[in-house]
Structure 1
Amino acid sequence: MAEILFVDDDNLILRFSRDLFLSKGVSILTAANAEEALEFFSDHEIAVVVSDNQMPGMTGLEFLSHVKSISPDTVKVLISAFVDLPTALAAINSSEVFRYLIKPWKNEEILEVVKEGLRRYRMVHTMRREDEAVLRSLAQTIELKDPRTKGHCDRVAVYALMIAEAMRIPKEVQRQIKYGSWLHDCGKIGVSESILNGTEGLTELEFETMKMHTHWGADVAEKAGLSDVARNIIQYHHERFDGSGYPAGLAGEDIPVETRIVSVADVYDALIMDRPYRKSFPTRQAREMVRSLSGTALDPNIVSIFLDIIPEGPIPTTEDLLPRHDLFAAEKEATISAETPLLRRFSV
């Protein structure tokens, strides 16, 4: 079973951490230094490791660099007693650190970070199976972080496949477009729910954090061995046709065609659904808004195809579109069975 490991040279902190997680029904492993911690990786499956940075001998950053090579799927959290921007950037860039926290951390904060880390770890292993039922259930689980987006991934997949069929995209590529559509927002597993569900506009820092979900999602997709098509959708679905998007500022046909397809579907569905900061737009108005984005945010050729094939009138449900795109028949009763007993018990 996947486990959690805390590493700190302060025995009082280790004892407090054990008690905190035991209060939630979760046992954790502890180590007083990096050398001792590395020994755990030979006979334990470590899902999340939380390490102090300033320790005698090997620092936390050096330790996590070792973890990256011996257990690449392990989710890494670095803790420091003071704000150290160079160390934080080095941790993120060289060790793929999931979170950088400052001591003293709040109980709710460390519990939530470890819980999110467990979800990320399990997501990698789930996606690796490329089982349609599990992938779709995983997407639905991710949507639970923002209840207002329920059904968004399903609808984006259906709209994207309608476009792909009209463009005569090969069937195998369509299958990968479906997976990428379902999982395009999987990086949001690392974004705080207070950011996702806030009713006010985002601060500059919050927006920069939100933008990181494309990077985090692409990292998970790469570790899971997803196809280039699915990974392109996850990484680049916020690029804009005019080059003003993120994360890479790609423009025009430099943006993979599968991503340009999903971007149109994603924008349209976002417009016709309620958001924390605004109400939904009527479908007729949403269509005109999509049309107005042609050539700036969206590929004009794909917008034209989309507007020709998308139903007008009331918002179609997934079930309405199933007769044309029977994507989900085999997995209607599926659940996220890949969740471990540890995850099921760890309910903060």
Structure 2
Amino acid sequence: MGAEILFVDDNRLILEIAKDLFLERGVSILTACNAAEALELFQEKEIAVVVSDNHMPGMSGLEFLSALKEISPETIKVLMSAYADLATALAAINSSEVFRYLLKPWNEEEVIEVVEEGVRRYHLMNTVRREDDNVLRSLAQTIELKDPSTRGHCDRVAIYALKIAEYMRLPKEVQRQIKYGSWLHDCGKIGISEFILNGERTLTDEEFETMKMHAVWGADVAAKAELSAVARNIIQYHHEKYNGTGYPDGLSGTGIPLEARIVAVADVYDALTMDRPYRKGYPVPEAREIIRRQGGIDLDPEVVEIFLSVVDKEQIPLAKENQEEIGLVLSHERGTPHPHGGATA
């Protein structure tokens, strides 16, 4: 199903009029009687244009559209009001990124024209974003060329992270940004030499400190590229640990952004199951046990349980057989030098 049009108004008669107006043109729209009901629809639907009344019980239309900046920033936002309130109109445009401000009672042709223009604008942005998908994914693959042992790592992390996000029923736009952040979570490694990345030896303290900087460098690149806060959080914080011993900022628990906690689990799991210069990948049962043990230590325990349940359900093949010791591996994968060399910090 394609992107939808949503009208939000506490007056059910207004919603019925809107339905009839668009049905005459062969278009079925979604409706909601308040902001809370509308926000639930954003969990399940891709919504191109939302037209919201301002004066509603509970969350006002202006507050609702402001909330959408994080939940679904691509949605084209139209605010309606029965009052010619210049201050509200300016606030809507400045703080909520509202596309148009309409007065009630509305002019039917104006409403149709604004919505149709909004839909066109939405699809144009999506076309640009699809081109960005190719650019971002290509960048991730270019970064992986610096370390051949990580080939396909970013794609797999994105797949695993999205399975968690889907299970948690995060908004579609947040899932999209998690995909971008997963692709680019190691983009800061573009500035790290292959000598450090590919070494089959223990890193010096100085080399390890350089390795850890990739999270900050990557986040800086993402900020300059104007990527979303969700994607930037993943790039900067995917090496933070649940117990506060990670980097770069020593965040802990739920102080670590959720999207970073999700990608951390996916990142560690994929690193465990893939061959690296200093060891073979671990078979699924051992990798699962390592991940399970790290719930509440390095990794968010709730995200770990969700991920393991998804792996069980989907039967995702992740690992190759090996007979290596596993006791020291996880500390290495999460940013500690491995005693036998190399690093994937």
Q: TM-score scaled by structure 1?
A: 0.53
Looking at structure 2, the residues matched to 248 and 314 of structure 1 have their Cα atoms a distance apart, in angstroms, of 34
In the alignment, which residue of structure 2 is the partner of 1:242? 243
In the alignment, which residue of structure 1 is the partner of 2:148? 147
CA contact (8 A) 1:283 1:313 kept: no
Task: Percent identity, please.
Answer: 70
Looking at structure 2, the residues matched to 131 and 316 of structure 1 have their Cα atoms a distance apart, in angstroms, of 31
| Amino acid paired to 1:315 | L
In the alignment, which residue of structure 2 is the partner of 1:292? 293
CA contact (8 A) 2:273 2:319 kept: no
In the alignment, which residue of structure 1 is the partner of 2:60? none
1:129 Cα deviation after fit: 9.5
What are the superposed Cα offsets for residues 72-109 of structure 1, whole Å, 9 maximum, x if unpaired? xxxxxxxxxxxxxxxxxxxxxxxxxxxxxxxxxxxxxx
CA contact (8 A) 2:283 2:319 kept: no
What are the superposed Cα offsets for residues 49-75 of structure 1, whole Å, 9 maximum, x if unpaired? xxxxxxxxxxxxxxxxxxxxxxxxxxx
Q: Which runs of 4+ in 1 moved over 2 A?
A: 127-130, 311-317
Indicate whether 1:196 and 2:197 are aligned.
yes
Looking at structure 2, the residues matched to 313 and 133 of structure 1 have their Cα atoms a distance apart, in angstroms, of 25
| Amino acid paired to 1:261 | I
1:312 Cα deviation after fit: 4.2
In the alignment, which residue of structure 1 is the partner of 2:134? 133
Indicate whether 1:182 and 2:200 are aligned.
no
1:52-67 matches, within 5 Å, as none
1:248 Cα deviation after fit: 0.1
Looking at structure 1, the residues matched to 317 and 161 of structure 2 have their Cα atoms a distance apart, in angstroms, of 19
| Amino acid paired to 1:221 | A
5+ residue gaps in structure 1?
1-126, 318-348
CA contact (8 A) 2:270 2:318 kept: no
Secondary structure of 1:168's aligned partner: coil
In the alignment, which residue of structure 2 is the partner of 1:271? 272
Indicate whether 1:261 and 2:262 are aligned.
yes
Looking at structure 2, the residues matched to 175 and 278 of structure 1 have their Cα atoms a distance apart, in angstroms, of 33
1:130 Cα deviation after fit: 7.0
Looking at structure 1, the residues matched to 172 and 223 of structure 2 have their Cα atoms a distance apart, in angstroms, of 22
What are the superposed Cα offsets for residues 184-242 of structure 1, whole Å, 9 maximum, x if unpaired? 00000010100000001111111000001011101100110000000000000100000
CA contact (8 A) 2:160 2:266 kept: yes
| Amino acid paired to 2:177 | Q
In the alignment, which residue of structure 2 is the partner of 1:308? 309
1:278 Cα deviation after fit: 1.6
In the alignment, which residue of structure 2 is the partner of 1:111? none
Looking at structure 2, the residues matched to 158 and 128 of structure 1 have their Cα atoms a distance apart, in angstroms, of 19
Q: TM-score scaled by structure 2?
A: 0.54
- Cα RMSD for the two superposed structures: 1.9
Looking at structure 1, the residues matched to 217 and 259 of structure 2 have their Cα atoms a distance apart, in angstroms, of 19
In the alignment, which residue of structure 2 is the partner of 1:173? 174
1:279 Cα deviation after fit: 1.4
CA contact (8 A) 1:238 1:247 kept: yes
Looking at structure 1, the residues matched to 207 and 285 of structure 2 have their Cα atoms a distance apart, in angstroms, of 32
In the alignment, which residue of structure 2 is the partner of 1:208? 209
Count of aligned pairs between the two proteins: 191
* Greater relative contact order structure (CA < 8 Å, 6+ sep): 1
